[in-house]
Amino acid sequence: MALEWSPTTWIIAASCAVFLGARHLSSGKLDPREPPVVNSAIPFVGHLLGMALYGGRYLKQIGIQNRQKTPVFTLPVPNSRIYIVTDPSLAAAVQRASKVLSFTPIIPEVTERILGLDKATVEIARKNLDPAPGETRGFLADIQDMVYTWLGPGDYLSVLTIAAANQLKAEVAEYIATLRARNIDADRVDLLVWVRHCVTVATAEYLYGPKNPIAEDPALEAAFWDFDHGLGMLLMNIMPSVTASKAYKGRERLVEALADYLEAGTYKTASKIVQERVSLALQHGWTLRATARSELSFLFAGIVNTTTSTFWILLQLFADSELLRTVRGEIEALVTTTDDDSAQVLAIDDLKNKCPMLNAVYRECLRLNSDNNSVRVVKEDTLLSDRWFLAKDSVVQIAGGVIHADAAIWGPDVETFDPKRFLGQQDKERQVHPAAFRAFGGGKTLCPGRHFAMNEILSFVALVVLQLDITGVDGGRIEVPRKNDGVLPVHILEPIVPVLVSIRPRKGYDERELGVVLKKV
């Protein structure tokens, strides 16, 4: 692979060297019990350069080279250490040690960079991050609690699930209506772009209501994806208005629109969870314009991973006719008709329990395409699992991409898409370590939206599988490209090349209205 020394790379390398200084230049261990040290070919900034140049692939490769020798190793970087954990049971130990290995100190810094928060707001966000019971709770502690509770199993989860399924249903109906209006049977689209549009518009609406900023100004949809694609550079935070200008502009346009939306009081027509988030921010002294930035992060969490996961699932299903037949059969078995026979009804709660192959495809797509690491800061010198010394102020990363690609866990065909590996997981022999499946993170940073995301994604896939057909552009087969792992992974990876497909209403499909309910009563 050729090294490309882009100007950005030089800027990154130079700033790393200048800003961070060189305290721990030694390539030796800080303590005899420190995990084995892996040095880079270029001393000092080598590992940082590697990450800047090759993105997630760099860490993943080092992880794969070393995981058989040791479950955790040390990367010396200027001024600090990065410990990389590649073993599920040690990952579980990191997750349990959440008092000393904590994610929360990173949040204000990361959100400041990604969202462009002003100093006063960051000050508020830094307060009482990890409160003990009885202590004053800061904004982040309060909002995390609320989101975890509301999106956990319960009535609100059902309310939001039905709202999302209905919006996605409307998007599919709108696509079919557009074909009819244009008098064509099918349209050629980039599958990822098509899914993006459906999910972005639907999410903006079920979270922020019918008068949400994207509904009012559809150009903001492109701004949203510009923001997403420059996230890695925004995170680097080296003159973002220059080095990540598209992402920066996209973000500022969205923030502007969200701020106007909040100031006009339109959020009172939003989902209950958004209203509660805004009210918590106000209680903690945020201004409405700053709150717009926090809401952008929620909109982002709701859209990006749902989009890319749905893309991979649809792609794999429609690329394999045998698999499609199986999954269609599972889903069709959940469709009934109303008493007067005028409409069909899909019970979406049963998608989780009664469609084993659909669920296996869902998990396998997440396993193959989530390479992101869970990051923790070491707050005190720590002896992990009574064995490994971790130095204060360094960083621990659980290498999700390495664990997802470990043949010792998943079998020799670990690189291939094979949903069957997730069938029969109730069988003890075939169970993997619970911390080995890392798409939703783990421990304290386990995704609060995971139940909702699963409901939503399975519903969207079911609606598409029932009503549409997707083929290669000339009616031919669909090829599944590899993922683009040369970027810093901030979400489920995208394909390396666009996938052009032809989408049409499914032939011979019952055209009665298709309603969604949670459970058939």
Ligand X SMILES: *[C@@H]1O[C@H](CO)[C@@H](O)[C@H](O)[C@H]1NC(C)=O
Q: Does 193 bind ligand X (CB under 6 A)?
A: no
Give me the DSSP letters along 280-308. HHHHTT--HHHHHHHHHHHHHHHHHHHHH
Spatial distance between the Cα atoms of 98 and 4, rounded to a whole number of angstroms: 39
Spatial distance between the Cα atoms of 63 and 35, rounded to a whole number of angstroms: 13
Nearer to ligand HEM, 78 or 401 (CB): 401
Spatial distance between the Cα atoms of 186 and 500, rounded to a whole number of angstroms: 13
Joined tokens for residue 437: 């499946």
Out of ligand HEM, ligand X, none, what residue 488 binds, judged by CB under 5 to 8 A for its kind, is ligand X
Joined tokens for residue 262: 């909040």
The verdict on whether residue 365 carries a ligand-binding annotation is no
Q: Does 365 bind ligand X (CB under 6 A)?
A: no
Out of ligand X, ligand HEM, none, what residue 373 binds, judged by CB under 5 to 8 A for its kind, is ligand X
Which residues in the 108-137 window bind ligand X by CB under 6 A?
110
Contacts of 439 (CB under 8 A, 6+ apart): 366, 367, 370, 400, 492
Task: Please report how close the Cβ of residue 340 comes to ligand HEM at its closest, in angstroms.
Answer: 35
Q: Does 405 bind ligand X (CB under 6 A)?
A: no
Task: Please report how close the Cβ of residue 3 comes to ligand X at its closest, in angstroms.
Answer: 21
Residues at the site binding ligand HEM, with contacts judged by CB under 6 A? 144, 147, 298, 301-302, 305-306, 309, 374, 439-441, 445, 447-449, 452-453, 492
Nearer to ligand HEM, 60 or 76 (CB): 60
Q: Does 489 bind ligand X (CB under 6 A)?
A: yes
Nearer to ligand X, 334 or 402 (CB): 402
- x/- string (CB under 6 A) for ligand X, residues 449-488? ---------------------------------------x
Joined tokens for residue 348: 């979406």
Nearer to ligand HEM, 90 or 199 (CB): 199
Q: Which residue is nearest to ligand HEM (CB)?
A: 449
DSSP-derived pairing of the beta strands 187-190 and 468-472: unpaired
Nearer to ligand X, 107 or 186 (CB): 107
Decide if 192 contacts 179 (C-beta within 8 A). Answer: no
Q: What is the CA radius of gyration of the chain?
A: 24
SS3 131: coil
Tell me which stretch binds ligand X (CB under 6 A): 283-291, 298-306, 410-418, 466-474: 298-306
Task: Please report how close the Cβ of residue 66 comes to ligand X at its closest, in angstroms.
Answer: 17
Q: Cβ–Cβ contacts within 10 Å for residue 375, how many? A: 16
Out of ligand HEM, ligand X, none, what residue 110 binds, judged by CB under 5 to 8 A for its kind, is ligand X
Q: DSSP letter at 483?
A: B
Amino acid occupying residue 309: S
Task: Please report how close the Cβ of residue 440 comes to ligand X at its closest, in angstroms.
Answer: 7
Q: Does 372 bind ligand X (CB under 6 A)?
A: yes
Spatial distance between the Cα atoms of 163 and 223, rounded to a whole number of angstroms: 25
The end-to-end CA distance of the chain, in Å, is: 58
Decide if 439 contacts 366 (C-beta within 8 A). Answer: yes
Nearer to ligand HEM, 230 or 489 (CB): 489
For residue 57, give the H/E element and its range.
helix 56-66
Task: Please report how close the Cβ of residue 115 comes to ligand HEM at its closest, in angstroms.
Answer: 13
Q: Which residue is nearest to ligand X (CB)?
A: 372
Closest CA to 108 of 385, 292, 363, 297: 297
Decide if 62 contacts 49 (C-beta within 8 A). Answer: no
Task: Please report how close the Cβ of residue 339 comes to ligand HEM at its closest, in angstroms.
Answer: 34
The phi, psi pair for 26, rounded to 5°, reads -60, 140
Decide if 346 contacts 513 (C-beta within 8 A). Answer: no
The one among 373, 382, 455, 502 contacting ligand X by CB under 6 A: 373
Out of ligand X, ligand HEM, none, what residue 213 binds, judged by CB under 5 to 8 A for its kind, is none
Tell me the binding residues for heme. Answer: 447
Binding site for ligand X (CB under 6 A): 110, 300-301, 304-305, 370, 372-373, 375, 397, 439, 447, 488-492
